[in-house]
Amino acid sequence: MGRTVLLNNWQRERKRGGGGGEEEEEEEEEESVEEEESVKASPERTVEPLSQSVLDRRPCANAVRSLQRVVQVQGEYWQSVKDSSSSVDLSYLQAQRRRRPRRDSDGEAVAAIAALSVGGVAAGRGGVASDE
């Protein structure tokens, strides 16, 4: 079980008056650690940029397997997740390079469709769309 699930279960049990002993102390320590981590991630705190070597590093095999499973399950419902399946084993920089050309071509297609739509609206109002 994930840390959040354990914490939620512990909090529910605590409200009912159950639990206790060593488990309770361990859970309190985990809660304290989570609070410290949230303080570290607060907006006022500046974060150092990641080094080039970190951005070039590929994810570990365990992470890749986990992401592939997520894509397999969620890809049935979310096309954007399915589209990203080919980049789960790439480094951050490799994935960015792969995405950038697609975004550029998508932007060009959207601009072309928008231009056609605007031309159609102008023609529909009695005006004539032209290339002038």
Q: What is the pLDDT of residues 75-104, one digit of tens each?
A: 999 988 888 889 999 999 999 888 776 656
| CB atoms closer than 10 angstroms to residue 28 | 12
**Percentage of residues in the chain having pLDDT higher than 70:** 50
Task: Pick the range with the lowest mean pLDDT from 9-23, 37-51, 79-93.
Answer: 9-23
pLDDT of residue 14: 65
pLDDT at 27 over 60: no
Q: What is the DSSP string of 103-129?
A: HHHHHHHHHHHHHHHHHHHHHHTT---
